[in-house]
Amino acid sequence: MQRASRSRHAVANRARCLSAPASTGFKRFPVLRTQDTGQDLVRNPLFNKGTAFMMSERDRLGIRGLLPPKVLSMDAQLDNEMANIRKLTDPLMKNLAMQDLQDRNETLFHRLLIDNIHELAPVVYTPTVGKVCQHFGDNFRRGRGMYFSSKDKGEMSAMTYNWAAKDIQIVVVTDGSRILGLGDLGANGMGIPIGKLALYCACGGIAPHRVLPVMLDLGTDNLDLLNHPHYLGVQHRRLQGSDYYELLDEFMAAIQTRWPKALIQFEDFSSDKASPILDTYRHDYLCFNDDVQGTGAAVLAGILGSLRQRGKGAAGLLEERVIMCGAGSAGMGILKQLLDAMQVHGISRDEAAKALYLVDYTGCVGSSTERDELTRQQVAASKGALDGAKLPALIEAVRPTMIIGCTGKGGLFTEEVVSKMAAASDRPAIFALSNPTANSECTAEEAYVWSKGRAIYASGSPMAEVILDGKKLIPSQCNNMYIFPGVGLGASLAGSKRVTDRMFIKAAEAVADSISDAELAEGRVFPQLTTIREVSKAVAIAVYQSAIDEDVATIYPKERETIVENVNRRFYDPSYVTLARGE
């Protein structure tokens, strides 16, 4: 097995930031040390500044003559990049242009993403990332992250040393078995960890050399892909049973051995595996499942936001009646999250479960076997009489305040469903969360038109504003992107031993508390995307505090430093800093 010795990456990642803003009011002068010089430096995306290298740096770092003579400011570079991206009309092409930028200059990439988050989040993340995955093999240019596959049995621990960075903070891993609402995309699913980690850096304050996207390629059951000449994954059906779990276990141990403090985020694992995997590892690894827990917390945040919208406090949660459509990992995660949050207000889990209705392909779930997971059993327990009831009839029977879709079935919320919701509640909350956009259960426009403008609407992928009877209605994006970057940052900065359930409740509250009065007046139930860095900081602070309260933190703020100051000090801010030569 080949080990990375003094690769360009190794050099880059040995660089350390020598200073950071001080808490005494002035901003310290930041300097980065790098061993790279000359052509190695301009080809290293972690340090490259392109035309923005000053003349003195070009002399000092051996790059004079490797760039055109004019020195540009970062602002000029940003204008230029954005103009080039706007010239492209196809979102997939825009994504490829962003990938190229990330491969050249990570600082500029993240700055561009932050400064244009509204326009570019849909390009690097949902919905475009769905297309990126579908065409991953066709467009493959350069490896990013790591691939562990069924061919690597017994080698994974050694392989981790091929990645030079010693201080990885966040690993996002998928096995590609349920990519967004698109199903099994095998190794093509790598687009998802890459997209999630772009948001970790741009929105969640994690420095780019501290993240690692991973594809755990244990085969695919998508035969079209397997037979496609451009498919780049292993050429066999998906492993099952102990063959699968043993390789996953080897991977987990490899990561923990090499980077003991790294947080592992499970992403887009199929429903049958998501919860068992989480249950296996959550007690002795720092890990969480974004689709189960991140989505659960995002929906809780959206409900708390809806309560603020209706002028109610958090205890109003106990007056909600919620229909949850979709019994996959997201649906079950949402129900569990709601049960956890309702219990905080002093009622028992079984009592809380009476207000929650689960709908799967058979209709309302009113009976459950002992083998089913606990949340399903609890929710089914009180619904015997409604067992099998289909959506419109169920809505009439229970008069819900909210309906949530995580089914992957575009168009499930028909005019009949939405108008019955509007008959049941003054301000029905309609959360059509499946991704990408085409899989959304109904569009914002449909929800507003069919509810005569009364719906509180949120979708998983962004939707445009709607003008109805001359009134502007602004849909919200209820996406785990409001949750996972801050949870990962907070848990990681606290050196938390585990990611706990309470952290997700605190994260959801922090998101809902971040909605400004002006945003509420516009009908939003989530803060605007342009404030996402501040929201992620608030989430990280809440999670850090929770780690301390629950006695799972191992790293504390420095003496005379608050958690807020600590998070602010360590929050990555992409800007060019002076480069110095050295170890």
Site for ligand OAA, rule CB under 6 A: 126, 180, 268, 290-291, 435, 460, 479-480
Catalytic residue chosen out of the listed positions 49, 94, 125, 576 = 125
**164 close to 9: Cβ distance less than 8 angstroms:** yes
Out of ligand OAA, Mg ion, none, which partner does residue 126 contact, by CB within 5 to 8 A per kind? ligand OAA
* Dihedral of alpha carbons 506, 507, 510, 511, sign: negative
The SS3 assignment for 312 reads: coil
Out of Mg ion, ligand OAA, none, which partner does residue 106 contact, by CB within 5 to 8 A per kind? none
Element (H, E) at 265: strand 263-266
Out of Mg ion, ligand OAA, none, which partner does residue 568 contact, by CB within 5 to 8 A per kind? none
> Binding to Mg ion (CB under 5 A): which residues in 345-404?
none
Exposed, middle or buried: residue 73 (CB in 10 Å: 0-12, 13-18, 19+)? exposed
The residue range among 8-16, 144-152, 253-261, 285-293 that interacts with Mg ion, by the rule CB under 5 A, is 285-293
Report the residue number, 152 or 268, with the smaller CB distance to Mg ion.
268
Report the residue number, 211 or 552, with the smaller CB distance to ligand OAA.
211
* Dihedral of alpha carbons 95, 101, 106, 111, sign: negative
Out of Mg ion, ligand OAA, none, which partner does residue 437 contact, by CB within 5 to 8 A per kind? none
Cβ–Cβ contacts within 10 Å for residue 66, how many?
14
Q: Is 178 annotated as a binding residue?
A: yes
Residue recorded with tokens 């809380």: 352
The residue range among 260-268, 305-313, 372-380, 570-578 that interacts with Mg ion, by the rule CB under 5 A, is 260-268
Q: Is 426 annotated as a binding residue?
A: no
- Residues facing residue 324 across a β-bridge: 358, 404
Contact flag: residue 268 with Mg ion (CB under 5 A): yes
Report the residue number, 401 or 480, with the smaller CB distance to ligand OAA.
480
Query: Is 281 labeled as catalytic in the residue annotation?
Result: no
Contact flag: residue 291 with Mg ion (CB under 5 A): yes
Query: Is 556 labeled as catalytic in the residue annotation?
Result: no
Q: Is 268 annotated as a binding residue?
A: yes
Nearest distance in Å: CB 295, ligand OAA: 6
Catalytic residue chosen out of the listed positions 49, 196, 336, 506 = 196
CA angle 394, 399, 401 (to 5 degrees): 115
Cα 3 to Cα 383: distance, rounded to the nearest angstrom = 58
Element (H, E) at 356: strand 356-360
Out of Mg ion, ligand OAA, none, which partner does residue 435 contact, by CB within 5 to 8 A per kind? ligand OAA
Nearest distance in Å: CB 329, ligand OAA: 9
**323 close to 360: Cβ distance less than 8 angstroms:** no
Q: Is 167 annotated as a binding residue?
A: no
Report the residue number, 180 or 358, with the smaller CB distance to ligand OAA.
180
Q: Is 104 annotated as a binding residue?
A: no
Q: What are phi and psi of 360, to 5 degrees?
A: -115, -165
Nearest distance in Å: CB 150, ligand OAA: 24
The SS3 assignment for 569 reads: helix
DSSP code of 205?
-
* Dihedral of alpha carbons 347, 348, 351, 353, sign: positive
Cα 546 to Cα 493: distance, rounded to the nearest angstrom = 12
Report the residue number, 36 or 268, with the smaller CB distance to Mg ion.
268
Q: Are strands 471-473 and 466-468 parallel, antiparallel or unpaired?
A: antiparallel
Report the residue number, 217 or 291, with the smaller CB distance to ligand OAA.
291
Residues belonging to the active site? 125, 196
Binding site residue list:
178, 267-268, 291, 435, 479
Site residues, Mg ion (CB under 5 A): 267-268, 291
User: Which amino acids are annotated as binding site for (S)-malate, given as ranges?
Assistant: 178, 435, 479
